[in-house]
Amino acid sequence: MERDRAGEFDEFVAARWSGLFHLARLLTGGDRHRAEDLLQESLVKLWFVWPKIADEAPEAYVRKVLSRAAARSARRRWWGERPVEQLPEVAVTGDVSATVVERSRLEAALAQLPSRQRAAVVLRYYQDLPEAHVAQVLGCPVGTARSHASRGVARLRRILADVIEPVG
């Protein structure tokens, strides 16, 4: 690859890493380690096609690869150990506990969805992609993508409603 193209790739990764990592994390149900692996795998695939798509839509390509890889890995079952992430002690100003709790609840609820529904919900409502793009990424008709997103949101509502305790 030419030096200019390699520099463009590095700039793209540096600029989009955080957003793509967060997407990967949501697609894997909040599993940080699987998200890192999926994102690295997707970026390796992007590297090999970079000269062809650098001027077109590299982010859309990575989203598509990420979504498909997450769906593939969700179909594989593994019953081994699961590492537990230890949070570092960080000084935080202000009370962010409500935000953290809400985000944790949402990630846990997303993790309970089937992989196709989770991908449709994340791409449609978190990434704010149009239904046609979601369908393209998932490799299915628009109606099917719409159905996955609708069923995923309905199931999220049921899951989150079960957790909320009535006041009074």
pLDDT at 71: 81
pLDDT at 106 over 60: yes
Phi/psi at 132 (5° precision): -65, -40
Length of the chain: 168
User: Do residues 138 and 147 touch, judged by C-beta distance below 8 A?
Assistant: no
Q: What is the pLDDT of residues 28-85, one digit of tens each?
A: 888 888 899 999 999 999 999 998 888 888 999 999 999 888 887 766 555 555 555 6
- Rounded Cα gap, residues 60 and 77, in angstroms: 28
Q: How many CA within 13 A on the CB side of residue 6? A: 3
**E-strand spans in 34-162?**
none
Mean pLDDT (the chain) is: 83
Instruction: Note if the pTM is more than 0.75.
Output: no
pLDDT at 34: 87
Phi-psi region of 83 (alpha: psi -120 to 50; beta: other; left: phi over 0): beta
**What are the CA-CA distances from residue 113 to residues 117, 148, 152, 167 (Å)?**
6, 10, 7, 27
Query: Which tops the pLDDT comparison, 89 or 67?
Result: 67
Residue 46 per-residue DSSP state: H
pLDDT at 117: 94
pLDDT at 105 over 80: yes
Domain boundaries, the chain: 3-75+96-163
Superfamily (CATH) of domain 3-75+96-163: PhyR, sigma-like (SL) domain (1.20.140.160)
Count CB-CB contacts under 10 A for residue 57: 12
Angle 32-74-160 (CA atoms, 0-180°, nearest 5)?
Answer: 70
pLDDT at 143 over 80: yes
